[in-house]
Amino acid sequence: MKKKSLLMALSTFVLLSLTACGGGGGNAGGSQSQTASTSGGSTYPEKPLIMVAPSGAGGGWDKTARSVSKVLMEAKLVDQTITVENKPGGGGVVFLSEYATKDKGNAYKLFVSSPPILINNNKKEGNSPFGYREVTPLAQLTKDFGALVVKADSPYKDLKGLLDAIKADPSSITVAGGSAPGSMDHLIAVLPAAKYGIDPKSVKYVSYDGGGEAIAALLGGNADMIATDASSVGEYLKAGKVRVLGVTSAERLGGDLKDVPTVKEQGIDADFTIWRGIFGPADMPADAKKYWDEKLKALSESEAWKKELAANAWESEYKDSAAFTAFLDEQDKLVKELLASLGMAK
């Protein structure tokens, strides 16, 4: 019964990001007293802006931060310069701890995040006391998928072959990811194993600080497989450095990954969608929040953004601040259930 409960929880979680939620609520608003006016009196932004990727270079957060900043400036949606900063540490935990306490109301610093902002706040080990309620969700922009990747010369030609090796001797296979145990890459890694009849807790998982470091570990022979974002592996696949054993989308992806089978195609019923969005600080001034509601919606509809989506193998999935906050409320409940099933809930 315990195993059945785990598999049901895993199955529920991977459908979370496919659920479209509407409505308002939550902490999406700002303090009116901190603003000039939301109807024309505001001069925000009056100085350069910062977009933070709470990870090292490479991987989904870094690429999203750079793509969003690039389009906002090149399409002249924003007049001010936007600088991208990398703030690695603990799968986003280190940055968020500082941001939530020291940058309240600082509308000149935004950041990119995804499911780890929920997972890190709810897990037992490496837990963060801060989550989406301690910041301001501004917009969801994209959805991506997980990829299970080995070196090009790996003896494992398909996902079942690697899972069979884990089942035979879990200690013989090292699986890595760019996020901490219990976080997103870890869940992508263990989901197919759980669906294949392997105890997720037996999978030997090693965490690195961001997708770029995880790829480097794989290429350096320090991992047998990595779980990462599908959008981050195209260049390595084209260069002949890696083999992608499967992607966690419901259907095959296009572009460089068009020939890669889904996990489900290989007889393992596991989908996993990775949403990404933009967040601002707690106590965000109302004029700044209104500004980003307008600008991020315009970005999601722009031709320049559509080209960026195609170039990165992302799919558009836009929700404004109110809908995004409501969506996160629902996701948070289900993340707690999943982590409890894995024995990782705080």
Amino acid 22: pLDDT: 37
Confidence band, pLDDT 50/70/90 cuts, at residue 66: very high
CATH 3.40.190.150 positions along the chain are: 16-143+276-341
Angle at 154 between CA 150 and CA 160, to 5 degrees: 70
Fold of 16-143+276-341: D-Maltodextrin-Binding Protein; domain 2 (3.40.190)
pLDDT in tens, 194-252: 889 998 889 999 998 878 899 999 999 999 999 998 988 989 999 999 999 999 998 99
CB-CB contact of 127 with 182 (8 Å): no
Please state the pTM of the whole predicted model.
Answer: 0.72
Amino acid 231: pLDDT: 84
* Backbone conformation region of residue 19, classed left if phi is above 0, alpha if psi is from -120 to 50, else beta: beta
Say if residue 176's pLDDT is above 70: yes
pLDDT in tens, 41-54: 789 999 999 999 99
Mean per-residue pLDDT for 81-97? 92
3-state percent helix, strand, coil for the chain, nearest multiple of 5:
45, 20, 35
Amino acid 36: pLDDT: 40
Task: Give first-to-last CA distance, the chain, whole Å.
Answer: 22
CB-CB contact of 178 with 185 (8 Å): yes
Confidence band, pLDDT 50/70/90 cuts, at residue 73: very high
Tell me the sheet residues that pair with 123: 345
Q: Alpha-carbon distance 309 to 144, whole Å?
A: 10
Mean per-residue pLDDT for 140-163? 96
CB-CB contact of 190 with 163 (8 Å): no
CATH 3.40.190.10 positions along the chain are: 145-266
Q: List the CATH code of the domain at 145-266.
A: 3.40.190.10
